[in-house]
Amino acid sequence: MTFQPSWISPERRLFPTSNTLEPDRDPSSPFTMDLNVTDVDDNTTFYLDCDREFVHPDSTLYSPYFQGAVYTMYAIIFVIAIVGNGFVCYSVLSSPRMRTVTNYFIMNLAIGDMLITILCVPFTSVALLKQYWPFGSFLCPVVNYSQALSVFVSAYTLVAISIDKFMVIMWPLRPRISKRFATSIIALVWLIAGTTVLPTGTFTRVNQPNGTQYQYCDRYICREDWSQVGEEYSVIYSQILMVMQYIIPSVVLLFTYTSIAAMIWCHRIPGEAENSRDRRIARSKRKRFFKKQ
């Protein structure tokens, strides 16, 4: 029986008569889904309890206390993320004094965080504990696409912030980028991010692996499926995402912030007070004052 998970022993989970139930199962429970499955090889009927087919009964994921703790922590994270990031957006938009270039970039970070909080946190937590995707075929690509999109937007918004700070420190007398130009950069970040991660949403779908417990229990998993174009393209796409989402932002951030640190620590910023010169001037003034007296 290929649908039977390897961790389940035949003596515990499968019975060769269709009317046999597990001793520790409540037949009157409304939350169970039972199937009588016939093996086509020897025409033997087995009992299949779909409630326990995806999570080991002895696993931590099966514990109601663990599930309650996970749901509670995710709920707390959800509320804090929505309230905190929403407050950031409100502060920037409600006060003209707060509408600076840096704050526009910070607000864009907050929007990306709210996107991943709303479209990823609830669905990911439930799917993780249940070990299958219970939210249907529409939300499967939407959630995966939104998750990849928000990560990409956050990474390149941090890059934009670092470049803005780099320009201010390295060329302090030059004018900063305008708010309109910053808005254009933010729009470009979203456009590039949405285009780059488009294959994630295109090739992500729900499916049922043949001959598994998912098929017999009518459950689905949500994942990328590149079988129509070839799995080699999945490897190429993963490498492209690695370069664009991690390597390029990391190199830019490392260069900009290292240059900023070197400029601040090793060079005197224009307009900074020179302590030795000020002490000499102060001594000279005191000498002249005492001479006059």
pLDDT tens for each residue of 93-121:
998 888 888 899 999 999 999 998 998 88
What is the CA angle 55-121-53, rounded to 5? 10
Phi/psi for 221 (5° steps) reads: -120, 150
Domain coordinates of the chain in residue numbers? 10-49, 60-265
pTM of the predicted structure, to 2 decimals: 0.70
pLDDT tens, position by position, 123-161 = 888 888 888 888 888 989 999 999 999 999 999 999 999
The fold adopted by the segment(s) 60-265 is Rhopdopsin 7-helix transmembrane proteins (1.20.1070)
Contacts of 154 (CB under 8 A, 6+ apart): 109, 112, 113
Residue (of 33, 39, 37, 73) closest to 52 by Cα position:
33
The stretches of 204-274 forming alpha helices (DSSP H) are: 213-216, 231-242, 248-266
Residue (of 256, 228, 225, 146) closest to 193 by Cα position:
146
- Return the higher-pLDDT residue of 293 and 192: 192
